Amino acid sequence: MARFTKKKKDEIGRAPDELFFRGEKKVDSVRLRIIDFGSEHCEEINISKTKESIKYRDSDSVTWFNIDGLHNEEVMRNIAAAFELDNLVLADVMDTQARPKVHDYDNCVASSIKMLRQDETTNKIKVENLSLILTKSVLLSFQECDGDVFDPIRERVKNEKRRIRKSGTDYLMYALLDIVIDNYIYIISNLGDKIESLEEELLDNPSKDILEQINTLKKELNFLRKNINPAKEMILSLSKLDSDFINDQSLVHFKELVGNINQAIESSDSYREILSDQLNIYHTTISSKLNDVMKLLTVFSVIFIPLTFIAGIYGTNFEFVPELKYKYSYFIMWGVMIVLAIAMLYYFRKRKWL
């Protein structure tokens, strides 16, 4: 399964405002959840029909309308009708392969970003498209499946002493984006711990397992960068957005997100360089060890070449060899060979070849 780009043939040539699901279906049915809150109250309910959310459209409270599952075109049409949204807005929501972006419409601000989660059991990084539609009293969030990183936000909403209870939908949008980006940094730091732990092992034992780990980590990091880097453009555009739906106080917080996303990108760039350095260290270490082996073999070959020459002379089959009848010839031959071998070793060490 491709982790970078997927496009089906039946998606080609469709109108940009057509409500057609472009992505991988991850849940069987759509789940609709609403959290409606103000400074004095907080209500969390699950609804079965979109029309039940209409009453929150023009309320004085803040409503967080979360939709899990993007494949149901009828639900999307009902949401578009209930909140008077252009089909183009919902068509972008249903395109899970689209790059992160933000657009200011007449009656809303629509944005999308990639939400990353790390499976606690397999440590595999999962990605899903998160779309946020901001109106005056309602924030709609669209996710591909159940489960997200927003439980801390829900806990803050339930706590009446927290600032989020007294703020508007724009601050809620900031809070969701902030935790998404913080999760980027968390995942990168976990990956960074693995990368840094390879350093010592790489120098002591540069085995093929280390090489496989480096290549695996490099793939994971490239996958992260592919999803995180485009988010910077969206956050930067959002921080400069002049919209009636974002007040000046919340705009300051959106500008803070720019620093957070820069931190995530800089960390990923740093670890990418570290992995490249580790790969170079691995190849350099392997080459150095190979050179040491070849040097040792060469030294022994050079030493045994003259010894073989001497042994070859005395191993000839001629009857009249001058030293053949001399009783000390064998010992003299061994003496010459040993002295020659020691002399050559001394010469190699003096030249620092050993």
All structural domains of the chain with their residue ranges: 9-283, 293-350
Q: What percent of the chain has pLDDT over 90?
A: 36
The mean per-residue pLDDT over the stretch 22-44 comes to 89
Alpha carbon 186 to chain centroid, angstroms = 11
CATH superfamily membership of 9-283: CorA soluble domain-like (3.30.460.20)
DSSP line for 171-233 = HHHHHHHHHHHHHHHHHHHHHHHHHHHHHHHHHH---HHHHHHHHHHHHHHHHHHHHHHHHHH
DSSP 8-state code for residue 100: P
Provide the mean pLDDT of the chain. 85
Pairing verdict, β 31-37 and 42-47: antiparallel
Neighbours of 306 (CB within 10 A): 14
Q: What is the pLDDT of residue 250?
A: 84
CATH of 293-350, one of 1.10.1060.10, 3.40.50.460, 1.20.58.340, 3.30.300.20: 1.20.58.340
The mean per-residue pLDDT over the stretch 95-99 comes to 88
Yes or no: say if 83 and 139 are a contact pair by the CB < 8 Å rule. Answer: no
- The model's pLDDT over 102-119, given as tens digits with 9 standing for 90+, comes to 999 989 999 999 999 887
CA distance 44 to 66: 11
Give the amino acid at 50: T
**What burial letters (b/e) apply to 18-31, b meaning 16+ CB within 10 Å?**
ebebbbeebbeebe
The pTM assigned to this predicted structure is 0.79
CA distance 291 to 282: 14
Q: What is the pLDDT of residue 199?
A: 77
Q: Is 137 exposed, middle or buried (0-12, 13-18, 19+ CB in 10 A)?
A: middle
- The model's pLDDT over 180-201, given as tens digits with 9 standing for 90+, comes to 999 999 999 999 988 888 877 7
pLDDT at 36 exceeding the cut of 80 = yes
- The model's pLDDT over 123-152, given as tens digits with 9 standing for 90+, comes to 788 899 999 999 999 999 999 988 888 999
Query: Kindly report the CA angle at 200 between 196 and 201, in degrees rounded to 5?
Result: 100
Q: What is the pLDDT of residue 12?
A: 62
Token look-up 């949008």 returns 173
